[in-house]
């Protein structure tokens, strides 16, 4: 199943946009999912994490926020989803991904609220440091201290998940341990048939980007702007320890929510209304309007 075949129940448009060239950074045609209409409020720009694409937002979050009156975009970073660059994936850096977010933001009629998940949280933080944004929301963001804490947590408490991710990196989803990934990404009661629909859409991640994320990211957010910020984490997250989520929140002076029974893939899980509700309440309180 390809990302292009993914079709959420509600109307979310997907298109490929060819961006203007960036000096020293490859120009890629990017898949952008759209929902909602422009309003007086800032648009919402969603940035996915590792091993996936913009499709992760299209099932629940984009229809939910579009119905609430927000103009929404979700970009598939280069080499992900139906965006260009799959064959060159391992050569892409976090800076390349930031450039992709900048191209998607250029589609907006005003500076967006940037919403990043996992690795996309690092990309979002680096974007708002160097580009105009109305706000920043981070869902289970990769630690600013690097991936060491995540790997340690998985090696102790979820070794089968760590092995499964290694197989995905070396052999693609065909080599993955389906059950280990399902249990690592979703709640225990997550329907198997829905997981079977999602999991073929996951993919390898850039070796170069992963290597970057192993190192501490503190310098990349120095000189950060003062803007409304929100951080959401889950105590059931197998990837990002709660202490790392709280540390990121402190750095940004963000509203912080650590929620029980929320797994890493919170935008796809059956519990998605909880983080979506927290985000919606914060957006209404921070930006109001219609």
CATH classification of the domain holding 76: 3.40.50.1820
pLDDT at 10 over 60: no
Q: For residue 169, is it within any domain?
A: yes
In a domain, 121, yes or no: yes
Overall average pLDDT of the 277-281 stretch: 98
Q: Is pLDDT at 8 greater than 70 in this prediction?
A: no
Look at residue 24 and tell me whether its pLDDT is greater than 80: no
Total number of domains in the chain: 1
pLDDT in tens, 138-183: 999 999 999 887 878 888 878 887 788 877 777 776 666 778 888 8
CA 68 to chain centre: 21
Say yes or no to pLDDT of 4 above 50: no
- Note the pTM of the prediction, 2 decimals: 0.90
The residues, any chain, with a CB within 8 Å of residue 147's CB and separated by 6 or more, are 210, 213, 214
Query: Is residue 17 pLDDT above 50, yes or no?
Result: yes
Structural domain that includes position 33: 3-285
Structure-block tokens of residue 208: 């170069």
Q: Angle at the Cα of 55 (from 160 to 107), degrees rounded to 5?
A: 135
pLDDT tens-digit profile of 32-63? 999 999 999 999 999 999 999 999 999 999 99
The H or E element that residue 231 is part of is strand 229-234
In a domain, 139, yes or no: yes
Mean pLDDT over 123-128 rounds to: 98
Distance CA(99)–CA(55), nearest Å, equals 19
- Residue 18's pLDDT is 60
Please give the pLDDT value at position 176. 67
For 58-86, what is each residue's pLDDT tens digit? 999 999 999 999 999 999 999 999 999 99
User: Which residue intervals of the chain are DSSP H helices?
Assistant: 55-58, 61-67, 94-105, 119-130, 148-157, 159-171, 178-185, 192-198, 207-214, 242-252, 273-287
Span 86-118, pLDDT tens digits: 999 999 999 999 999 999 999 999 999 999 999
DSSP, residue by residue, 136-153: EEEESPPPTT-THHHHHH
Indicate if the pLDDT at residue 263 is higher than 90. yes
Backbone phi and psi for residue 266, each to the nearest 5 degrees, phi listed first = -65, -25
pLDDT at residue 209, rounded to an integer: 96
In a domain, 290, yes or no: no
pLDDT tens for 185-227 read: 899 889 999 998 998 899 999 999 999 999 999 988 888 999 9
Q: How confident is the model at residue 20 (pLDDT cuts 50, 70, 90)?
A: very low
Is 230 among the domain residues?
yes
Q: In what order do the strands lie in the sheet with 135-139?
A: 13-17, 30-35, 72-76, 44-47, 113-117, 135-139, 229-234, 255-259
């Amino acid at each position: 199943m390809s990302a292009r075949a993914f079709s959420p129940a509600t109307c979310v448009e997907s298109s490929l946009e060819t961006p203007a060239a960036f000096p020293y950074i490859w120009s890629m045609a990017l898949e952008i999912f759209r929902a909602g209409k422009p309003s007086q409020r800032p648009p919402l720009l969603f940035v996915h994490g590792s091993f996936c694409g913009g499709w992760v937002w299209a099932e629940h979050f984009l229809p939910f926020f579009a119905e609430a009156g927000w103009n929404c975009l979700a970009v598939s970073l280069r080499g992900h989803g139906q965006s260009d660059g799959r064959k060159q994936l391992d050569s892409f850096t976090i800076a390349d991904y930031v450039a992709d977010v900048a191209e998607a933001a250029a589609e907006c009629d005003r500076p967006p609220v940037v919403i990043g998940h996992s690795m996309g949280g690092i990309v979002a933080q680096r974007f708002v440091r160097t580009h105009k944004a109305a706000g920043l929301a981070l869902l289970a963001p990769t630690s600013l201290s690097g991936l060491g804490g995540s790997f340690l947590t998985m090696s102790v408490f979820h070794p089968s998940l760590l092995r499964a991710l290694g197989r995905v990196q070396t052999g693609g989803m065909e080599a993955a341990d389906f059950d280990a990934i399902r249990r690592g990404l979703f709640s225990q009661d997550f329907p198997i048939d829905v997981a079977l629909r999602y999991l073929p859409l996951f993919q390898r991640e850039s070796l170069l980007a992963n290597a970057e994320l192993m190192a501490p990211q503190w310098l990349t957010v120095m000189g950060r702007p003062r803007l409304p910020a929100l951080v959401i984490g889950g105590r059931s997250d197998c990837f990002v320890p709660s202490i790392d989520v709280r540390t990121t929140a402190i750095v940004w002076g963000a509203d912080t929510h650590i929620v029980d029974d929320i797994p890493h893939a919170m935008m796809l899980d059956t519990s998605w209304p909880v983080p979506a509700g927290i985000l919606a309440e914060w957006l209404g309180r921070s930006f109001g309007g219609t």
